[in-house]
Chains A and B, each alone.
Chain A
Amino acid sequence: MSDLLKVPTMEEFMAQGKQPEILFWVGSAGSFDDRAKKITRAFVKILNKANVDFAVLGTEESNTGDIAKRAGNEFLFQMQAVTNIEVLNAYDIKKIVTCDPHSFNCLKNEYPGLGGVYEVIHHTQYINELIASGRLKVEGDLYKGKKITFHDPCYLGRANNEYEAPRDVLKQTNAQLVEMKRHKRTALCCGAGGAQMFKEPEKGDKDVNVLRTEDALETRPDIIATGCPYCNTMMTDGVKAKEKEAEVKVLDIAELIANTLNL
């Protein structure tokens, strides 16, 4: 099916003297992590379906530096930022969409101070826009009657106060949305933020992702929906740790929509 994916690069747009509607920032996880790549592909299918004129940077994209910044390496962060900004500004990018709330937050809030000013939106917000403007019609009963609980990513929710867009999109699947005890601004972190994804946790009596998975399992869901590639990995591991992988799936909102549309 991969041959059906249309993924033009900025370089190609440039060669034709055209400008895309939007730049899709794939991010490091979305480019390299096997699980996250599926989310990337699902989102591209949606973009293709809605006939969105988008482009990616491809091999010209580099890590935002977000993780380095949160690990305390401001120097590396700014090196990455300045390099990326040079590329983005050279292509005269105005609008960016990304599936990674960490890239979203970093590009939206931390790049402007270094000369990179763009309108940045999260893919759940963008899908919501596509639906609202009628460019994307979500019809299909694949998830009808299924119970879905949404895990708020910290960097979309608390960090940037976006709680509704992902829920609005989920409603389109006709599934039954159930909230965890801790949700929206009181949502518990999956445990990956602040560079924790790349190190062993400190000594404690439990892993954060297991605790968060317990929150989710309390709602007896069929599906745990995520909006972040790191959350997805953490919750998938949590479900495995709880030996529930046969009953409970962990899927990104982009995947849920792509599946509903049978893409």
Chain B
Amino acid sequence: MSIEIKNISYTYMPKTAFEHQALKNVSFTIKEGEVTAIAGHTGSGKSTIVQHLNGLLHPSEGQVLVDGTDLNKKGSEAIKARQLVGMVFQYPEHQLFEETVEKDVGFGPRNLGVSEEETEKRVKEALDFVDIDYETYKDVSPFQLSGGQKRRVAIAGVLALKPKYLVLDEPTAGLDPRGREELLSRVWGLHKRKKATLIFVSHKMEDVARIADRLIVMNHGELMLDAPPKEAFLEEEILKNAGLTVPATVRLLTELKERGFAVDPAAFTMEEAARRIAKAVKERRRGTC
């Protein structure tokens, strides 16, 4: 089971003075259980592409198949297929509106006609997952929460829909380093524990390196690169053209390698990079002695 994107193109405001082609013949397939990162600078078409994944936008050309169903089809089958894909927008806290946290998180399941008991169960689960205490916060207005809490409640609102595929559009934008860290580990846990398929948009290469199995790089509406992060980060030229930076650790190690140290630059955490540098330094000493 998978999401297949087949040769899609998308044009905003066709046939007006403001016509703009946001996607040009993009294809890729997302397999179940994968963590995919989509990166690119502003206006590269990454947000447009994720909106195709649950049928919010329909391609001007091409097809999007979720578990084999074309999202552009009319009828209940396509609606069901769309519901398989959960979508967390940029700044999801801007969509909160209910009087209480419980009602807001339960909004989605209730819309889908899930029974009251099941909804309550899902709300508890979802809030538990994003580390918001159900009993303490269920009757609190979402507007009284802090920024980070609001975001987590909003994400819980999507998790309560029990999507098979979860799409997150820059989930960590605007959070402080700790909030970012917490959110990432929560999302990563979702993948680890529940084998959820994740697709997330980010231009923080450090985040990508930490949790993605695969990196898709977009530039000017075209797919530039589709590879595991380890390989992708070595394609410095493509990344630079797409307006992205290689993680600091990779940059450091690449430079050391160019100066003659025997290191493999594909290290994405500080500890890993430090270990490799230490090893290379030791080897070099051994060589010179």
Q: Do A and B bind each other?
A: no
Q: Which B positions have Cβ atoms within 8 angstroms of A?
A: none
Q: Which A positions have Cβ atoms within 8 angstroms of B?
A: none
